[in-house]
């Protein structure tokens, strides 16, 4: 399975990606996670990316595309993959098609998670991430038993720098301006499927798997 998950910030791409990738036994490739790992590690890539991420802007294509090319053409992505957070503009979608074509493969499907802006703000403003194991919680929708402490590992929870109100607003604008056109691009190629991504997490997963069955 070669699958792209797309949707606005906070749609639940990361949350659903882990279940869908496990279901198909393919690696999850999240550009946001790779950037954040580089930011924590203090690498040159991380330093470059952080400026854009904190402002809610896209990291330049030159940086992002090289990183994805590297990841998809090495090792475990040969058996398939789930891309979370890439492509995010039409130029990235075009290059992705070329990278796959070089390897003699193509995408099976692009799955859009649909949620409205109000829900995005609710989800992002309450999101908390574990500093130790990376698990993602929500203060109202999926709260840990003790506030700010991870149930899984006892680690400290933190709020992402880009989950502040002003940055959330800018991320939504960037999504509408740059990422929404990608949906049309894939729809024209017959690759786009959409699901309602509101309601309980397991219900969204069930809708995703049911929609993807066509490509099993
Ligand atoms: P990235 O990390 O990809 O951020 P994003 O697309 O804004 O998505 P999020 O990670 O914020 O949300 P999500 O959809 O994964 O939701 P989650 O599952 O966490 O990118 C960050 C930045 O990196 C970008 O702004 C950009 O600067 C850069 N970048 C990344 N890729 C790039 C690219 N290709 N090109 C250029 N730059 C790039 O869920 C959110 C919250 O809601 C959680 O608290 C969760 O517990 C909760 N939740 C999830 N599902 C439900 C549900 N069904 N009901 C209730 N709550 C739920
Ligand atoms: Zn933890």
Domain hosting 80: range is 2-115+164-215
CB-hemisphere CA count at 13 Å for 4? 29
In a domain, 156, yes or no: no
Examine residue 148 and state whether it is found in any structural domain, yes or no: no
Could you tell me how many residues make up the chain? 216
Mean pLDDT of 14-36: 97
Q: Which atom of ligand 1 is nearest to the CA of 198?
A: 53
Q: Tell me the CB-side half-sphere exposure of residue 9, using CA atoms within 13 A.
A: 27
Q: Which residues pair with 114 in a beta bridge?
A: 196
Q: What is the mean pLDDT of the chain?
A: 96
* Within-domain flag for 10: yes
CATH of the domain at 171: 3.40.50.300
Q: Could you tell me the pTM of the whole model?
A: 0.97
Nearest to 67 by CA among 89, 91, 92: 92
pLDDT value at residue 75: 79
Whether 189 is a known active-site residue: answer no
Give pLDDT tens digits for 35-91. 999 999 999 999 999 999 999 999 999 999 999 999 998 879 989 999 999 999 999
Please check whether residue 74 lies inside any domain of the structure.
yes
- Whether 102 is catalytic is no
Instruction: Answer yes or no: is pLDDT of 142 > 90.
Output: yes
Helical H runs in 74-134?
A: 90-102, 117-125
Would residue 86 count as lying in a domain?
yes
Q: Is residue 188 part of a domain?
A: yes
The pLDDT of residue 163 is: 97
Query: Is the distance from CB of 183 to CB of 112 less than 8 angstroms?
Result: yes
**Catalytic residue, candidates 2, 28, 71, 127:** 127
Residue 155 lies in a domain: no
- Which entry of 28, 50, 71, 88 is annotated as an active-site residue? 88
Provide the number of structural domains found in the chain: 1
Q: Whose CA is nearest to atom 56 of ligand 1?
A: 141
- Which residue(s) pair with 80 in the sheet? none
Task: Say how many Å lie between the CA of residue 104 and the centre of ligand 1.
Answer: 30
- Residue 19 in any domain: the answer is yes
Closest listed residue to residue 148, CA positions, set 137, 160, 138, 157: 157
Q: Please say if the pLDDT value at position 11 is more than 90.
A: yes
Atom 23 (ligand 1) nearest CA:
32
């Amino acid at each position: 399975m070669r699958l792209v998950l797309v949707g606005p910030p906070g749609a639940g791409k990361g949350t659903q990606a882990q279940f869908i990738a496990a279901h198909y036994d393919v690696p999850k490739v999240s550009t946001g996670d790779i950037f954040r790992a580089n930011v924590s590690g203090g690498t040159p890539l991380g330093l470059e990316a952080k400026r854009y991420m904190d402002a809610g802007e896209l990291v330049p294509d030159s940086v992002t595309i090289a990183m994805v090319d590297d990841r998809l053409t090495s090792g475990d992505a040969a058996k398939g993959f789930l891309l979370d957070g890439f492509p995010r503009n039409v130029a990235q979608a075009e290059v992705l098609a070329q990278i796959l074509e070089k390897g003699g493969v193509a995408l099976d499907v692009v799955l859009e998670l649909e949620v409205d802006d109000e829900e995005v703000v609710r989800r992002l403003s309450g999101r908390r991430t574990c500093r130790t194991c990376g698990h993602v919680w929500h203060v109202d929708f999926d709260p840990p038993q003790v506030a700010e402490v991870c149930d899984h590992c006892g680690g400290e929870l933190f709020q992402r720098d880009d989950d502040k109100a002003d940055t959330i607003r800018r991320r939504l604008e960037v999504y509408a301006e740059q990422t929404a056109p990608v949906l049309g691009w894939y729809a024209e190629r017959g690759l786009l499927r959409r699901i309602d991504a509101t309601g309980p997490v397991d219900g969204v997963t069930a809708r995703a798997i049911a929609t993807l069955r066509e490509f099993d």
